[in-house]
Amino acid sequence: MGNTLATLRRKEESLLFSTYGRYPVAIAEGHGSRLRDLDGKEYIDLLSGIAVTNLGHCRPEIAETVAAQAHKLVHVSNLFYQEEQLVLAERLLKTTHLDKVFFCNSGAEANEAAIKLARRRQQRLKNRYAYEIITFEGCFHGRTLATVAATGQTRFQDGFAPMPEGFLQIPWGDPEALKAAVGDKTAGVLLEIIQGEGGVRPASAAFAREVAGICKDRDVLFIVDEVQAGMGRTGKYWAFQHFGLKPDIMTAAKALANGLPMGAMLSTDETARAFVPGSHAATFGGGALVSAVAAKVLEIMERDNLPQRASELGVWAMERFRAVQDACPGSIREVRGMGLMIGIELAGPGRGVWEKLLQNGFILNLTQERVLRLLPPLIIEKQDLESFAVCLETILKAGAAR
């Protein structure tokens, strides 16, 4: 207590691996869409801990669920039946067309499970030695060795050679390239319907449908990574639902338990049969505490119709940001997104604009150097997005005038 940002920074340098480029802010507490730093300065949270706290910070009903479950049962391992897991599984599966779920602890882990399931489905159910996973330029699937190989960006692979075999990356938005790439060794195609880390790039409906169609024709698994876009953020529970798609496998994590670590991999019954007892496991996966919280999260999303809210507010926000674009000619290249997953691509490097927004009390993220990425909690008030728009316009106009 009594720490300042400078003392925390010094301590951290001596204690932690320096794997993160931190923002110059130390957060002390959060409530709803507000964060407060050590000095008591208040911020409007437009990032939700990177698409995690979709229901806002420290929501009382969630805090009560955590406390009640913490007094009842937290962890016993997957050697036992646990009711909490099944309550969650029923609720989660009901939001999809899929039949079975495997619980783990993060997005990367969910994607690892998906990759393993796709390989095993080909090798054990189809008697085909297929293992290759095809991904798309600009994608992000996690930081384990396999998911870094799937991600394909050299900056995430630097110094970690050799990469695991069996990953092939092709251009984004080019179905012909996919047709050419799928072969005897292909196990599945892994797609983000809207790339997050890659700069908030939505797939066109036509492209997403072509990918699904090619997978079906060639009998390879269509796998959708919903880790960031899922859980109502884009205006439907899952982004693929905008295009009427039915992936064989999907992965989720980030917002699943509103801040507690949890991941999930879902698939059709047919594909799920590739895993048998012993095929895969996670010690913490689907523990009673996180499961109870995730079940509560889904209950609230359903009750409060949050995907719908994200959809409507997202349409309004993107229109509003396009008005800022019009008011500041030459400053913004494009406003794009789905629901409350919004990218504002600036005409040039965005670090300066991002810093000023932060100084003015707006927390958001900058990806690909020039894309302001907004992932606000789905409960954000319109007025907060309006304040952001006004602030952004002021900053861009001042920058242009310089």
Ligand X SMILES: *Cc1c(COP(=O)(O)O)cnc(C)c1O
Binding residue for ligand X, selected from 136, 140, 207, 222, defined by CB under 6 A:
140
CB nearer to ligand X: pick between 239 and 391:
239
**3-class SS of residue 272:** helix
Q: Does 197 bind ligand X (CB under 6 A)?
A: yes
The size of the interface with ligand X (CB under 6 A), counted in residues, is 15
The span of 40-48, 190-198, 213-221, 287-295 binding ligand X (CB under 6 A) equals: 190-198
Q: Does 150 bind ligand X (CB under 6 A)?
A: no
Provide the CB-side half-sphere exposure for 395 (13 A, CA). Answer: 21
Q: Is the dihedral of CA 323, 327, 329, 331 positive or negative?
A: negative
Q: Which residues in 234-253 contact ligand X (CB under 6 A)?
A: 253
Q: Does 107 bind ligand X (CB under 6 A)?
A: yes
Distance CA(176)–CA(241), nearest Å, equals 23
The span of 35-43, 139-147, 200-208, 353-361 binding ligand X (CB under 6 A) equals: 139-147
Binding residue for ligand X, selected from 48, 95, 228, 311, defined by CB under 6 A:
228
Backbone torsions φ then ψ of 43, nearest 5 degrees: -125, 150
Other C-beta atoms lying within 10 Å of the C-beta of residue 70? 12
Provide the CB-side half-sphere exposure for 22 (13 A, CA). Answer: 14
Q: Does 297 bind ligand X (CB under 6 A)?
A: no
Residue nearest ligand X, CB atom distance? 107
CB nearer to ligand X: pick between 108 and 290:
108
The span of 2-10, 29-37, 107-115, 380-388 binding ligand X (CB under 6 A) equals: 107-115
Binding residue for ligand X, selected from 30, 138, 152, 196, defined by CB under 6 A:
196
Binding residue for ligand X, selected from 34, 141, 309, 370, defined by CB under 6 A:
141
Q: Which residues of 199-234 are buried (b: 16+ CB within 10 A; e: fewer)?
A: bbbbbeeebbebbbebbeeeebbbbbbbbbbbbbbb
CB nearer to ligand X: pick between 230 and 235:
230
The span of 137-145, 163-171, 264-272, 315-323 binding ligand X (CB under 6 A) equals: 137-145
Q: Which residues of 147-163 are buried (b: 16+ CB within 10 A; e: fewer)?
A: bbbbbbeeebeeeeeee
Contact by Cβ (8 Å): 366, 46: no
Residues in contact with ligand X, shown as a per-residue x/- string from 50 to 89 under the rule CB under 6 A: ----------------------------------------
CB of 143 to ligand X, least distance (A): 6
Contact by Cβ (8 Å): 275, 268: no
Binding residue for ligand X, selected from 108, 149, 223, 289, defined by CB under 6 A:
108
CB of 140 to ligand X, least distance (A): 5
Structure tokens belonging to residue 368 = 């690909």
CB nearer to ligand X: pick between 107 and 232:
107
Distance CA(370)–CA(351), nearest Å, equals 7
Binding residue for ligand X, selected from 106, 135, 258, 271, defined by CB under 6 A:
106
Distance CA(269)–CA(101), nearest Å, equals 10
Other C-beta atoms lying within 10 Å of the C-beta of residue 141? 30
Contact by Cβ (8 Å): 139, 195: yes
Q: Does 112 bind ligand X (CB under 6 A)?
A: no
String of DSSP letters for 70-91: HTT-----TTS--HHHHHHHHH
CB of 127 to ligand X, least distance (A): 30
Query: By the criterion CB under 6 A, which residues form the site for ligand X?
Result: 106-108, 111, 140-142, 192, 196-197, 225, 227-228, 253-254
